């Protein structure tokens, strides 16, 4: 009897010692910040118009250092010669998406143009990364309602646009994003500008300290229980941010 009690006591003690450690390893995303706030807030950074050597690779280095995931919408005609960057994106846990072949405005474009522009980039991505569902961000975020049926993947807009391409100023871009950032936001940036890369890393540093976790758009929707549908446009993780 005494021996049995001792064994049980020992097991409970073992459980007490093991459980907290196991929980941490199993439940927390890789980019869990050092100081966690009471609430778990998820947010998505998205980068358009790349890949661009010199800025995209520096961004990938910085995101890796910080354990932050992001989503990249690539312009097809920019991919040739930058295949290693595209492979790195996927290998390092980022989501890779389609931003048309030549950055055409899809609103008002013919069916033939829409299909060609999206298909060509899809083929370039498949050649590098293999078959997959490469979500689309229509350039300028626009596509006609009636043309959405042509798109066989989910589409992504954004809820925070600091107009980084116009500001081209790290501090102003950081400020604009921090003012508008909230849980489930999808932030629009462009990884072809050095100032946007600097801003993105500054945004990650600040928001991680506030308890935010940076995830891909696909992850953000899933965390909100949303299974993204082809032809639908998503503007934030919960469609309200
Ligand atoms: Zn664009």
160: DSSP letter:
B
Ligand 1 center–CA 103 separation, angstroms: 6
Rounded to whole angstroms, the Cα distance separating 74 from 56 reads: 11
Question: Domain with 195 in it: what CATH number?
Answer: 3.20.20.370
Q: Decide if 230 is inside a domain.
A: yes
What is the tally of structural domains in the chain? 1
Q: Decide if 8 is inside a domain.
A: no
Q: Which of 190, 191, 198, 238 is catalytic?
A: 190
Give the range of the structural domain holding residue 212, as residue numbers without chain letter: 40-240
Q: Decide if 12 is inside a domain.
A: no
DSSP E strand stretches across the chain: 41-48, 71-74, 95-98, 155-156, 186-190, 212-214, 233-234
Please indicate whether residue 103 is annotated as part of the active site.
no
The strand pairing partners of 187, in sequence order, are: 45, 160
* DSSP per-residue codes, 93-159: T-EEEE--SS----TT--HHHHHHHHHHHHHHHHHHH-S----B--GGG---GGGGGG--S-EE--S
pLDDT tens for the chain, 241 residues: list them. 444 444 333 333 333 333 333 333 334 455 554 454 456 899 999 999 999 999 999 999 999 999 999 999 999 999 999 999 999 999 999 999 999 999 999 999 999 999 999 999 999 999 999 999 999 999 999 999 989 999 999 999 999 999 999 999 999 999 999 999 999 999 999 999 999 999 999 999 999 999 999 999 999 999 999 999 999 999 999 986 5
Question: Is 114 within 8 Å of 86 (Cβ atoms)?
Answer: no
Please indicate whether residue 99 is annotated as part of the active site.
no
Q: Decide if 188 is inside a domain.
A: yes
Ligand 1 center–CA 32 separation, angstroms: 30
Q: Decide if 35 is inside a domain.
A: no
Q: Decide if 25 is inside a domain.
A: no
Q: Decide if 23 is inside a domain.
A: no
Q: Decide if 17 is inside a domain.
A: no
């Amino acid at each position: 009897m005494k021996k049995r009690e001792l064994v049980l006591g020992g097991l409970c003690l073992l459980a007490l010692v093991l459980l907290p450690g196991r929980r941490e390893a199993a439940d927390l995303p890789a980019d869990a910040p050092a100081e966690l706030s009471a609430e778990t807030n998820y947010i998505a950074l998205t980068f358009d118009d790349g890949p661009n050597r010199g800025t995209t690779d520096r961004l990938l280095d910085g995101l890796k250092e910080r354990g932050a995931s992001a989503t990249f919408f690539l312009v097809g005609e920019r991919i040739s010669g930058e295949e290693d960057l595209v492979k790195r994106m996927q290998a390092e846990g980022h989501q890779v998406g389609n931003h048309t072949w030549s950055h055409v405005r899809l609103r008002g474009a013919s069916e033939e143009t829409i299909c060609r522009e999206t298909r060509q980039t899809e083929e370039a991505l498949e050649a590098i990364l293999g078959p997959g569902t490469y979500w689309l961000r229509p350039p300028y975020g626009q596509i006609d309602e009636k043309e959405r049926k042509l798109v066989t993947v989910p589409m992504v807009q954004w809820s925070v646009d600091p107009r980084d391409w116009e500001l081209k100023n790290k501090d102003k871009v950081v400020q604009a994003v921090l003012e508008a950032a909230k849980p489930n936001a999808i932030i629009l940036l462009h990884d072809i500008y050095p100032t946007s890369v600097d801003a993105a890393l500054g945004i990650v540093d600040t928001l991680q300290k506030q308890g935010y976790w940076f995830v891909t758009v696909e992850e953000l929707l899933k965390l909100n229980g949303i299974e993204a549908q082809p032809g639908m446009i998503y503007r934030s993780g919960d469609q309200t941010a």
